[in-house]
Amino acid sequence: MRIKVSTPEQIEFAQIFDRLAKDFNVTQGNIAKSLSIERSYVYMLIKGQRRPSKRLLESLRALEVRLRGGDPNAWDDLDNELRPLLDLLKKLKERDRPGFLAAKRVVEALAAG
């Protein structure tokens, strides 16, 4: 995979993804689900079109450590950790669209670093 990147964070994200894809057959979809981000955002991160936040990069590092350690629940841990928050956001989206959009902007700002 040819990596077009300019920051150390972009390089590291792409390298970790490449290792996980090679060693564990991880897909962009797997990473997106585990990190609770859009698959298209994972693609942009891998291609160096976006810079991962510190928190996102730390989550990817932690996932790699768990997978390499043979943790059978490596995928589930991230999902379970965020499930209550995702459930609240779904309810907010259904009941209070303007409130949901405001929360979405906050999350996107945090993810941007």
pLDDT digit of tens for each residue in the chain (113 aa)?
Answer: 555 657 999 999 999 999 999 998 889 998 998 888 999 999 999 988 999 999 999 999 999 998 888 877 776 655 555 667 777 888 888 999 998 889 888 877 776 65
Please name which of 85, 13, 20, 21 lies closest in space to residue 49, comparing C-alpha atoms: 13
CA distance 23 to 63: 13
Altogether, the residues listed in the chain come to a count of: 113
Output the pLDDT for position 61: 94
Please state, in angstroms and as integers, the Cα–Cα distance from residue 41 to each residue in 48, 53, 91, 92, 96, following that order. 10, 12, 24, 23, 25
| pTM, to two decimals | 0.64
Instruction: Tell me the backbone φ, ψ of residue 95, rounded to 5 degrees.
Output: -100, -25
In order of start, what are the domains of the chain with their CATH numbers? 8-111 (1.10.260)
Output the pLDDT for position 43: 94
CA distance 29 to 37: 9
